[in-house]
Amino acid sequence: MIDRRTLLKTGAAALTATLASRTAFAQNGGDINVGVVLPLTGASAQFGINSRNGLELAVDRLNSSGGIKSMGGARIKLIVADATSAPTAAATAAQRLISQNEVVAVIGAYVSSLTLAVSEVLERRGIPLLTISYADQLTERGFKNVFRINPKASALGRAQVDACIDISADSGRKLERVAIVYEDTAYGTSQSAGLRAACKEKNLSIVMDEAYPQGITDVTPLINKLRAADAQVLFPVSYLNDTLQIVRSMRQQQVQVPVVGGAGGFILPEFGQSLGEFAEGVLSVNSSNYDLDPESAKLYRDRYNYPMVHDAIEHAALIEILAQTLEKTKSSAASDLRAAMTETRFEGGWINGMPGGAIDFDETGHNTLAVPIIIQWKGGEQATVWPKQFEKVSPTWTN
């Protein structure tokens, strides 16, 4: 027979267990929920999917090799939400992950405007956001919960200009006249503004500065103008379809001006596949590249049959950061994670794919070791050619 006392005891125990289950779960080898907000539909879907693949690969390997050891082998569980292409939807998704899934951190949201919207929600709830988005102001609003591993957008623009000056000087030329061509979207306008500022700093004269409608049907006028402008280098800021047209038409019309792309379409594998020999020698700025850590890149290529693009590398690195942080804190409390992330210098594992090979956040959440790199298309692959300390293949400058 069960007397009243036993019943009360069991009841109380059950109640306590339920209340404590959240903490207990995380410490006894249960799941640690990590939110992922990425654009899986709309214009940026391809980038969101590459990013998700990087995350899944890193998490699967972490979990199969014993999870977070200091927490009794706790496993990281990704809760994925579609950010769509609207900041409001992205913010709502983040809100959902926090209140429904009790995530300890959120990773996302690739597109800067989406990330900015998500960061506003997370800052107010005190949950860390790990991101690869470039927008300068992400880490310039005094937020305590934003951690960004990539260089700022303005640094990318400067790197493009600096690299051109360096590389052309190596081949015995002095860079003076540049051309900027960009799509008339948020991405094109903001990135070209960074380029323009960088050119001004270095006293380069911009002999052509032209916006074109995204999805342009005839690039011939642009190419003619470029030919007439007598520029020594072209900085195009475009996504895939437009980049293909611009580079193909240039090469077909024997305009041999070196091309230095602003990431976007220039660092997609499809760029090399579609253009074949026309892709050869095209340069682009990037924030990481697969030849910096061939071992990890091979794991990715074997699983997805696709090169480990920078989005995937960087998102895998975010998992590495999170795993090392949890290993150190032994707790999934947001305040502990935040403190540990600011204090720790992260190295090894998936971070080997990042230029600099380590990540160190300052109090604004900016990675002080982030460096933009320049890649060049060689034989259908992207090779890191600048700056000197990360150079895998020496750059060529044809003009």
Partner 1 sequence: MKRARNLLVAGAGLALALILPMAVDANGYAVRVLTLVLLFAAMAQAWNIVGGLASQMSLGHAAFFGLGAYTSTLLLIHFGLSPWIGMIASALVGGAAAFALSLPTMRLKGHYFALATLAFAEVFRVAANAWSSLTGGPVGLSIPYGEPSFLMMQFQDTRSYYYLALSAFAVVTVVFAAIKFSSLGYRLRAIRENQAAAEVVGVQTTKVKIQAAVISGCLTAALGTIYAQLNFFFDPDSVFAALQISIRVALITIVGGIGTVVGPLVGAVFIIPLEELTNVLFADKAAGLSQLVYGLLLIVIVLIQPRGLAALVGSALARRPKTSGAGT
Our CB check for partner 1 shows the closer of 122 and 318 to be: 122
CB of 323 to partner 1, least distance (A): 21
271 CA to centre of own chain: 18
Pairing state between β 373-378 and 283-286? antiparallel
CB of 315 to partner 1, least distance (A): 15
Query: Per this entry, what is the length of the chain?
Result: 399
Our CB check for partner 1 shows the closer of 123 and 336 to be: 123
| Of 74, 68, 19, 72, nearest in space to 320 by CA | 68
Q: Is 212 helix (H, G, I), strand (E, B) or coil?
A: strand
Our CB check for partner 1 shows the closer of 137 and 224 to be: 137
Our CB check for partner 1 shows the closer of 70 and 85 to be: 85
CB of 336 to partner 1, least distance (A): 21
Asked whether the beta carbons of 343 and 355 are under 8 A apart, the reply is: no
Across the chain, how many H-helices and E-strands are there?
12, 14
Asked whether the beta carbons of 262 and 284 are under 8 A apart, the reply is: yes
CB of 190 to partner 1, least distance (A): 5
**Structure tokens, 314:** 């960087």
Our CB check for partner 1 shows the closer of 211 and 358 to be: 211
CB of 41 to partner 1, least distance (A): 5
Beta bridge partners of 209: 180
Asked whether the beta carbons of 321 and 351 are under 8 A apart, the reply is: yes
Our CB check for partner 1 shows the closer of 91 and 283 to be: 91
CB of 53 to partner 1, least distance (A): 12
Residues forming contacts to partner 1 in the complex (CB under 8 A) are 40-41, 45, 48-49, 80-82, 84, 86-89, 91-93, 95-96, 98-100, 112-113, 116-117, 119-121, 123, 125, 135-137, 141-143, 184-187, 189-190, 193
CB of 375 to partner 1, least distance (A): 25
- CB-based contacts of 40, cutoff 8 Å, min separation 6: 48, 49, 52, 80, 82, 83, 84
Side chain identity, residue 306: Y
Asked whether the beta carbons of 42 and 111 are under 8 A apart, the reply is: no
CB of 321 to partner 1, least distance (A): 23
Our CB check for partner 1 shows the closer of 82 and 166 to be: 82
Asked whether the beta carbons of 85 and 117 are under 8 A apart, the reply is: no
Q: Give the count of alpha carbons within 13 A of 261, CB side only.
A: 27
The whole-angstrom separation of Cα 63 and Cα 251 is 48
Our CB check for partner 1 shows the closer of 42 and 269 to be: 42
Asked whether the beta carbons of 316 and 293 are under 8 A apart, the reply is: no
Our CB check for partner 1 shows the closer of 21 and 252 to be: 21
CB of 114 to partner 1, least distance (A): 9
